[in-house]
Structure 1
Amino acid sequence: MSYLEWIAAALVLINVALVALRSVWNYPFALVAVTLYAFVFFEAKLYSDMLLQGFFFALNLYGWAAWMRARDESGVPVRWMSGSARRGWALATIAAWAGWSFAMDRHTDAAAPWIDGAIAMLSITAQWLLARRRVESWFLWILVDLIAIPLFASRGLYATSAVYVVLLGLSIDGLVQWRRAAATDGMTP
């Protein structure tokens, strides 16, 4: 375990705690954390997760701008997706996972191309939905956490695995808080 991994892990925890509170100030922590994690995942040969950090960087910049425009005195408003939007995102995520993981399996020496690919594609969808302030993003983050904990532990990334245990708790809390906020704003699933 490197100091870089520990620093990135701490920044992610701060980031997600601020996201659950619907604070726009989560984004500076996210930008530094994803930059550091790109190096951590490269060293662990988890290339999907490494490349995912670049996507996260760009999407965090987008999310920061979107949240700054949307915020009000109570925080950032959140909403539910329509049923057809949920189905469309689910199908697109499954197709992206299959294509990405197949390519990683065939063309790299990735340690766990299918599991790592699932984490990457679910994370992309979750991060996009989070930037768009959709409650469903938390269900995906919970699934990502459940998959990532054993994968990262198996690769010797114990600090990161432990962080994902904490992230699981924060994701559950984020789901509860965002469901409550959406109900308060009159937005039901």
Structure 2
Amino acid sequence: MDPVQAFVDVFHWTIPVAGGGLLVREVVGNLFGLASALGGMARRVWAWPVGIAGNLILLTVFLSSLFGAEDTATLLGQAGRQVMFIAVSVYGWLRWRQARRGRAADAKAITPAWAGWGGRAFLVLGMLVGTVALTPVFRALGSWEPVWADAWTFVGSLLATWGMARGWVEFWLVWVAVDVVGVPLLWSSGYYASAVMYLVYGLFTFTGFFVWLRAKDREKPAAETLLPDGPR
């Protein structure tokens, strides 16, 4: 058998479902994403490289039309977010590894903290401004309608991943906002495995928020409080 053709056949493997098919790459990529999310909830450094592997797989999925699947919708925001994930994940990986140094062998990589009002304003404004700015760009490039939803999930994913790298508790809520829009977008464009996984993520992110919130309160760094000398 021609090895090139064998690779192409494996590359386009599908799982028969209800008269159609789910792309195996899409399922595998999302499973890597779920594993990364679980690692992120547990604040383990390995969550980042596992997530990067999933991003590389999903990048080929959302650009399927470039790999011979002409009947598959191209979601530039979803494809672009995989590239963005990889870039930000490298930053998060390095940041968590650095934070992990000097801690006990069984310790978590970081201690969660609030973003503060400045950080929250950055997240909210970033979501709104970024979506408005990127929507016409994605539309001009031929992304799937509604294009604003594609832009929303792209910007939100960027901000959520950045917030996770920084250790901000609020990043879980950004993911909720992404999932609410992402599920119907992916379903309508035919990426059913990703839509179902987004739905799972949506439920998962609520849990992650409260897990990190509890960790923030229970793992406050010990600090020595120096009181000023009283009157002599």
Match of 1:146 in 2: 180
Residues 59 and 128, structure 1, Cα contact 8 Å, conserved in 2: yes
State the superposition RMSD in angstroms.
1.4
Bigger fraction of residues in helix: 1
1:127 pairs with one of 138, 146, 161: 161
1:85 to partner: Cα distance: 2.3
Q: What amino acid does structure 1 have at the position aligned with 2:127?
A: T
1:162 to partner: Cα distance: 1.1
Structure showing greater radius of gyration is 2
1:142 to partner: Cα distance: 1.2
CA distance in 2, matches of 1:32, 1:92: 27
Runs (4+) off by over 4 Å: none
Match of 2:78 in 1: 49
For CA contacts below 8 A with separation 6 or more, give which structure has more relative contact order.
Answer: 1
1:97 to partner: Cα distance: 1.1
CA distance in 1, matches of 2:208, 2:186: 22
Match of 1:167 in 2: 201
Equivalent residue pairs, number: 186
CA distance in 1, matches of 2:118, 2:80: 29
What does residue range 6-155 of structure 1 map to in structure 2 within 5 Å? Answer: 6-43=27-64, 44-71=73-100, 72-73=103-104, 74-75=107-108, 76-105=110-139, 107-112=140-145, 113-155=147-189
1:104 to partner: Cα distance: 1.4
Between stretches 91-100 and 174-183, larger displacement belongs to: 91-100
Q: What amino acid does structure 2 have at the position aligned with 1:108?
A: L
The 1:28–1:85 alpha-carbon spacing in structure 2 relative to 1, beyond 3 Å, is closer
Q: What amino acid does structure 1 have at the position aligned with 2:23?
A: S
Match of 2:3 in 1: none
CA distance in 2, matches of 1:12, 1:85: 25
SS in 2 for 1:80: coil
Residues 42 and 50, structure 1, Cα contact 8 Å, conserved in 2: yes
Residues 4 and 36, structure 1, Cα contact 8 Å, conserved in 2: yes
SS in 1 for 2:63: helix
1:152 to partner: Cα distance: 0.8
Residues 111 and 220, structure 2, Cα contact 8 Å, conserved in 1: no
Residues 172 and 209, structure 2, Cα contact 8 Å, conserved in 1: yes
CA distance in 2, matches of 1:84, 1:11: 33
Q: What amino acid does structure 1 have at the position aligned with 2:90?
A: L
Q: Name stretches of at least 5 consecutive residues in structure 1 with no aligned partner.
A: none
SS in 2 for 1:79: coil
